Amino acid sequence: MPGFELFGEAEKAQVQDVLDSGVLMRYGFDGMRKGHWKAKELEKAVAERMQTNYAQLLSSGTAALTVALQAAGIGAGDEVIMPTFTFVASFESILAIGAIPVLVDIDDTLTLNPVAVESAITTKTKVVMPVHMCGSMADLSALKAICTKHNLLLLEDACQAIGGTYEGKPLGSYGDLGCFSFDFVKTITCGEGGAMITNNEAYFKNADHYSDHGHDHFGNDRGAESHPFLGYNYRISELNAAVGCAQVQRLDEFITIQKKHYTVLREALTDIEGVTFRRVPEGGVENYSFLNFFLPTEELARKAHKALGEAGLDVCFYWYDNNWHYYRKWEHLINLKTLAKFPQEIIEGLPDYSKADFSKSDVWMGRTISSLVKLSWTKEGVASRAKAMSHVITGVLAE
């Protein structure tokens, strides 16, 4: 991770194909494009790879989440349960449609704690949204059982976990809806882009129309298309989709490389007393984009992270202090900082996060260090890195 590390001739050829046609937009201009439809091609490939009936490409992972929620009829005042550890896009997509992000604690999977989820359900809850952060998943079977019990939608934010599986199903395909990001630092990239997948035909049709100003896409005359409902512009371009057409064919190649590098790093830390690893639920297989491990205390994790950085191991992350990925630094959400007025439903329904107690999440995040697993590392480079990580962490724990 990320896919841009291994850009090659396949990506260049796909982009050149679009430039040669002269059509950069995914819709219309049928005669000019000479039969080239990159977005459609990528949607077909994504649906086949994820074993779902439908895939809708969007302009970003954030757009994918926003469109997925709207496609399922989620709107003003509806509550969406999400974890305290995620990227800010998760709650941005919820707020964008006037819905309420309900943050709940994580557990040792580093995503939604099913017990916390069930405790947070109210009459306004409509969706449970696990976020498969850093390449691994929540206890999806437990969450699905909760959703079935309470008649809720299960929406998988798999933006950081494409290529992982749960009970033999690709991550993103286990729930009612799944979303991916294809931005520049994801396992496969379009530069900018995202996708929503589902087996529900109504959700797919809604997403198809909603993401293109409400166009119904019937017939071959774009100017004559009807608008069954209001929509917005969340389209991907043909140029971005072209890059993805090459990258999606390399997903298994990338996962194989990540697993190999991940395994070397993990084996180097396995026998260090005091180091434990993120729990992967039974039946789950990571996409190996990050190695996530715990140290015994927050103090030791902070020391180890600092020492790893000083040793030149600069793709190790301490999420507990991160501005984008953990609730503690989401001052703009906590203090409701916005350029304009929020909808009344949000003002009345949003919990007061300045008084929230997420100490159960802090217990895990305060002790977590994540190492990005890069595709471009050489065999010698991975071995050297593993040895250096082991040396640094052993030294910190011995102090």
Q: What is the 3-state secondary structure (H, E, C) of 238-253?
A: HHHHHHHHHHHCCHHH
**pTM recorded for the entire structure:** 0.97
* Distances 29 to 39, 223, 276, 359 between C-alpha atoms, Å: 14, 11, 56, 55
Cβ(190)–Cβ(240) below 8 Å: yes
Tokens matching residue 255: 């996962």
Give catalytic residues, as residue numbers.
186
Instruction: Of 189, 172, 72, give the one whose Cα is nearest residue 131.
Output: 172
Secondary structure of 368-388 as H, E, C letters: EEEEECCCCCCHHHHHHHHHH
What is the model's pLDDT at position 261? Answer: 98
pLDDT of residue 1: 82
pLDDT digits (tens, 9 = 90+) for 99-123: 999 999 999 999 999 999 999 999 9
pLDDT tens per residue across span 328-376 = 999 999 999 999 999 999 999 999 999 999 999 999 999 999 999 999 9
Cα–Cα distance, 179 to 64 (Å, whole number): 6
Longest dimension (CA), the chain: 73
Please, are residues 216 and 226 in contact by the beta-carbon 8 Å criterion? yes
Tokens of 150: 């309470």
pLDDT at 220: 86
Q: What does the pLDDT profile of the chain (399 residues) look like in tens digits?
A: 889 999 999 999 999 999 999 999 999 999 899 899 999 999 999 999 999 999 999 999 999 999 999 999 999 999 999 999 999 999 999 999 999 999 999 999 999 999 999 999 999 999 999 999 999 999 999 999 999 999 999 999 999 999 999 999 999 999 999 999 999 999 999 999 999 999 999 999 999 999 999 999 998 899 899 999 999 999 999 999 999 999 999 999 999 999 999 999 999 999 999 999 999 999 999 999 999 999 999 999 999 999 999 999 989 999 999 999 999 999 999 999 999 999 999 999 999 999 999 999 999 999 999 999 999 999 999 999 999 999 999 999 998
Residue 20, by phi and psi: left (phi above 0), alpha (psi -120 to 50) or beta? Answer: alpha
Which residues fall within 8 angstroms of residue 350, CB to CB, at 6 or more apart?
100, 101, 336, 342
- Looking only at the bridges linking them, the beta strands covering 153-157 and 177-181 are parallel
Helices (H), 183-297: 201-210, 238-248, 251-270
Strand partners, 316: 371
Name the helix (H) or strand (E) containing 8. Answer: none
Size of the chain, expressed as the number of residues it contains: 399
Domains located in the chain, CATH noted:
3-250 (3.40.640.10), 252-398 (3.90.1150.10)
Residue 138 has which token pair? 């929540």
Identify any residues that bridge with 212 across adjacent strands, giving them in sequence order.
233
> Is residue 124 within 8 Å of 100, Cβ to Cβ?
yes
Question: What DSSP letter does each residue of 26-75 carry, written as one string?
Answer: SSS-HHHHTT--HHHHHHHHHHHHHT-SEEEEESSHHHHHHHHHHHTT--
Say if residue 2 is preceded by a cis peptide, omega within 30 of 0: yes
Exposed, middle or buried by CB within 10 Å (0-12, 13-18, 19+), for 366?
buried
Distances (CA, A) of 14 to 28, 31, 38, 253: 19, 19, 8, 18
Provide the pairing of β-strand 125-128 with 100-104.
Answer: unpaired
- Provide the pLDDT for residue 34: 85
Q: Look at the alpha carbons of 134, 136, 142, 147 in this order and tell me if their dihedral is positive or negative.
A: positive
